[in-house]
Amino acid sequence: MGHNRASNPFTPDFGQTPAHLAGRGKTLTEIESHFAVGPRAPGFTTLLIGPRGTGKTALLNALVESCRSEGWVIVSVDAGTPGIHDRIGMVLDWLEHPDRTGLGTVQDWGRGRELIGAGFFGLSARWEIAAAPPRMDNRHRLAYLASQAGEHDTSVLLCVDEIHAGDQQEMRRLGDDIQHITKRESLPLAFLGAGLGDIYRGLLSGTKMTFFHRCHRLEVGLLTPAQAVNGVRCTVRAAGADAGARELAPILDRGDITPFHMQVIGSHLWDLSGLPDSPAGEWETAKSVELADAEMMNKVHRTAWYDLPVPCRRLLAELRQAGGAGVSTRDLKQSTGLAAAVMSHARRWLQFGGYILQPSPRQITLTGLMPDAAIERLAEEDEEVWAAGEDADETTNGRPADPMRCGKPMSRVPGRCTLRLGHAGGCRR
């Protein structure tokens, strides 16, 4: 065991391009066909929305690759920290004068150019890009670039990851810019944004963000058990080994899982079995699934749980106890003891976060994003803390004192957020 780690093809991490992109064929084709239509297609500007680890970045990168191979010009940045317009400006500088900026590695690619590094890449076309007149702002530079692309029968793709973390002002300006270029001027500037469901409470909750409201939306979700098994199998195969469907069957027991979870399982399986030299067995798969549970708990579920306001946690706990599927909202209101307004806030919060589905207005179902076993365990931890009165300011007889409060733990100071549940913007005390 262990000797084969260096050859492990799995990527149990964030933002890493997977060896095999599982279960996203339909989504890719859908977006590609929107892109092929041009600025008039609603999907020419698309938002990819999904919980952590569902593979938004992986999907974004796959689309960048596919557009690049079509000869599109790519401007790819992330909104994780303020300064997105400067970053877009840097990519534009580089596209216009690749030799002057000294950014990353520049390779000649036909007559085009390729840059990789500094957390973004701008990839270019098979024609010479003309620099915009000096002192133009990004909007006009992007428009100028898009009109050149149009003349060469191609398009520009503006790709923005982590849009949920974007600065509101900057995002508003970005939205206005794209609206102007793509919608009003009908220039071939396609937009792809990716972010967490938090954007329903941020970017998509304001009345001013009209551009983002009008973007085509695609939910990036969990893989079905069959897609997860196939994903592991294809990854193993791409690395020159094999794993049979029967040997991988224990993965099916976990139901729908995130691609990240699939990578964690696959990675353990590779190491435990001694792939690629020895085959993967059913026992190794079962053991890997088990090891992955513990890892998911520590790396994902616990943090996610404590990021949820207390009423959301109660709702998840009661929902699980009631069987988790098609549970009536009325029963839940009773068992959680939450007021109607709090209940509806909590429900929306969990829905945006990808934890629950509402098959009908009066029913709630768990998605599996937070597995039953994790909910059970974390709810028990909550009960213990409340029973011990450790969070005394938070509780009255084990119940949250004020369920209307957000209750999210503060990141820099001790204590919890005292704002109203479902508040806009950052937490405060």
Ligand X SMILES: Nc1ncnc2c1ncn2[C@@H]1O[C@H](COP(=O)(O)OP(=O)(O)OP(=O)(O)O)[C@@H](O)[C@H]1O
* Tokens 């066909």 found at: 33
Q: Which residue is nearest to ligand X (CB)?
A: 55
231 membership: H or E segment, kind and range: helix 225-238
SS3 395: strand
Instruction: Looking at residues 70 to 99 of the shown chain, list those that interact with ligand X (rule: CB under 6 A).
Output: none
Which residue lies nearer to Mg ion by CB, 142 or 296? 296
Q: Which is nearer to Mg ion, 27 or 148 (CB)?
A: 27
Query: 397 near 387, Cβ under 8 Å?
Result: no
Looking at beta carbons only, is 25 or 415 nearer to ligand X? 25
- Binds 71: which of Mg ion, ligand X, none (CB < 5-8 Å by kind): none
Residue-wise DSSP of 72-127:
-EEEEEE-SSS-HHHHHHHHHHHHH-HHHH--SEEEEETTEEEEEBTTB-EE--SS
Closest by CA position to 421, among listed 337, 343, 358, 322: 343
Q: Given 3-state DSSP classes, what are the helix, strand and coil percentages for the chain, each rounded to the nearest 5?
A: 50, 15, 40
d(CA 221, CA 276): 30
The residue (of 24 and 268) whose beta carbon lies closer to ligand X is 24
259 makes contact, choosing from Mg ion, ligand X, none, with CB < 5 to 8 Å by partner type, with: ligand X
State the nearest-atom distance from the C-beta of 56 to Mg ion, in Å.
Answer: 5
Contact predicate 206/168, CB 8 Å: yes
Task: Considering the complex, state which of residue 144 and residue 352 has its C-beta at the smaller distance from ligand X.
Answer: 352
The entry of ligand X, Mg ion, none near residue 27 (CB within 5 to 8 angstroms by kind) is: none
Specify the pairing of strand 395-396 against strand 399-400.
Answer: antiparallel
Taking the complex as a whole, how short is the minimal distance between the CB of residue 67 and ligand X, in angstroms?
A: 17
- Residue 61 or 235 having the CB closest to Mg ion: 61
If the CB atoms of residues 51 and 371 are measured against Mg ion, the closer one turns out to be 51
Whether the bond into 12 is cis, omega within 30 of 0: no
7-26 residues near ligand X, rule: CB under 6 A: 11, 13-16, 18, 21-24
Region binding ligand X by CB under 6 A among candidate stretches 94-102, 170-178, 256-264, 313-321: 256-264
| Number of residues counted as binding Mg ion (CB under 5 A) | 1
CB of 117 to Mg ion, least distance (A): 18
Q: Which is nearer to ligand X, 21 or 31 (by Cβ)?
A: 21
Closest CA to 57 of 200, 196, 166: 196
Contact 91, 99 (CB under 8 A): no
Interface with Mg ion, residue 76, by CB under 5 A: no
Distance CA 41, CA 397 (A): 56
Of 192, 195, 164, 255, residue with least CA distance to 50: 195
* In the complex, least distance from residue 348 CB atom to Mg ion, rounded to whole angstroms: 23
Residue (of 2, 1, 6, 3) closest to 239 by Cα position: 6
In the list Mg ion, ligand X, none, the entry touching 324 (Cβ below 5 to 8 angstroms by class) is: none
Q: Which is nearer to ligand X, 24 or 333 (CB)?
A: 24
18 binds, among ligand X, Mg ion, none (CB under 5 to 8 A by kind): ligand X
39 binds, among Mg ion, ligand X, none (CB under 5 to 8 A by kind): none
Conformational region of residue 397, where left means phi above 0, alpha means psi within -120 to 50, and beta covers everything else = left
Q: Between 79 and 317, whose beta carbon lies closer to Mg ion?
A: 79
Q: Which of residues 191-250 bind ligand X (CB under 6 A)?
A: 196, 231
CB of 359 to ligand X, least distance (A): 24
Task: Note whether 148 binds Mg ion by CB under 5 A.
Answer: no
Q: How many of the other CB atoms lie within 10 Å of CB of 341?
A: 13
- Binds ligand X (CB under 6 A): choice among 31, 47, 49, 58: 58
When binding is defined by CB under 5 A, the residue of 57, 124, 138, 230 that contacts Mg ion is 57
**Identity (one letter) of the amino acid at 348?**
R
User: Roughly how many angstroms between the first and final C-alpha of the chain, as a whole number?
Assistant: 50
β-sheet bridge partners, residue 157: 74, 190
Q: Is 230 in the site for Mg ion (CB under 5 A)?
A: no
Q: How many residues bind ligand X (CB under 6 A)?
A: 23
Binding residues for Mg ion (CB under 5 A): 57
Binding residues for ligand X (CB under 6 A): 11, 13-16, 18, 21-24, 50, 52-58, 196, 231, 259-260, 263
